[in-house]
Structure 1
Amino acid sequence: MTALHCAACTNPDPAAVRAVIEALVAAGADVHAKDFYGQEPLHWATRNSNAGAAAAAVQALVAAGADVRAKANTGTEPLHWAALNEPPAAVVAAARTPLQAGACTSAVDRNGSLPRLVVLRRPDAAQCGPLLQLLTPGQLLTPPHGERSASAAGALPGGTGGSGAAAASRQLPQNRQSVVPEAHNGECVVCWSAPRSVALLPCGHLALCAGCAATDLATKRCPVCCRVCCRPAGKTVTIYHP
């Protein structure tokens, strides 16, 4: 790790973390430097447990040219790392800026996991409705007019106890595996554009379009239930509708 990695992750003060990152960058620190596992400072910034500091660190690094699509050795992008942050409020704060700068909610790591599937595996997934909405393509990336941002309020949009978060949590099904396949009407759960036509074996989930099924990453692990598929390269069957 470099000083930039450490500063982005550990400093809990928004103003201080921004100032330190800007000073390090001005002194020549490399925003693309990788640690032993291939993670860049932006990966670590998304794991800052203070919502305000996470937002400040991410914004400072993106402004300095950090790559929001940077991949670690395991294929994880900053959004995957953000989804692992302990407080859901910090995840929302850390994820907004990369999304606005072009981060992809449909990015898959080497295990075939999308950022929102990382959220669904969290023990507190039932309280992460606003986070799942943020990681769903086509959602608004800025709070409604008059509402404080997550970084300013230090809480989820609408407040952790507000009606917005409560409503979103109620919309999260009890069965986590049913969230992704039912999220959109028959669309591929990876690209969210082409129709689903390919089922993965042995789990049998009809989850992918023909294009995504052709990629090894998408078929390595079922994006619905996260079950490892038959090898090599995942076993699939194309479903033909009359």
Structure 2
Amino acid sequence: MNMKFLISIILISFIPHTLAQVYKTTDENGKVTFSNIKPTVSNESATQVEKLDVDLSNEAMTTVSTEFGEKFCGDIKLPSMSKGSYSSKYFVKNVMQSKRNWQNSLKRLNERIAYNTRKNVKTAKNNYYNSTRRNQLNSSQRKQSESNVKRLRDLRCAINWSKSQNGTINELQTTINNKQAQNESESSRLEAIKSKLESSIRAQCGSEPIYDPTLKSNESQRRRWSTCSRKNRNEIKKIDRKLRRLRY
């Protein structure tokens, strides 16, 4: 097992401890190899085996980058707040939802890595593979390991970034809540005005005549009612437009 593959396994192994055990083997020719499996060495052999403890407490992660005004954690695009009246509300919702998705993805990836690690260790103990087949397995494991490491680093970066936004999220949420309270108060006020205008129409003009072309007087009745209520109905339409804007 080469050093690059070893480091990849160490970085991604789902181990609940902060230290991982690695074995350094030096043969009689001075060749050094590393493995996470303790090698078997006879007493007569000049090969030396040294156990190393690798600290895993500091989890590696991708660095946040900026491209064309957008922020990324590797292949993960981070939420951004654009201009617009609904941007703050959308940004808060997007960050919170993305954070949950990233945490779930990280959990599933850790579980898959733990399974693959146990599987690779079991495979490494089997001696019935020839050198060609073993090299193929090592190459496949190495590619999978590198892919998992990259994804793991990206997810850690994204989750860490979302946590760094907590202060901004709290401020925006407070602003959103205050704005919502103001909108609800304004909506109540407008609804009360609308109700008064509707009452005024009924008091001054009566109820709107139903459409009935079989009655000769229906058209003239509807025309009189429309003329009588036009001003108040126009004001009601303005109020309805304002109410729609407040609700979105």
TM range (shorter): under 0.3
- Tell me which protein shows more strand as a share of its residues: 2
TM-score by length of 2: 0.21
TM-score by length of 1: 0.22
Could you say which structure has the larger radius of gyration?
2
- Tell me which protein shows more helix as a share of its residues: 2
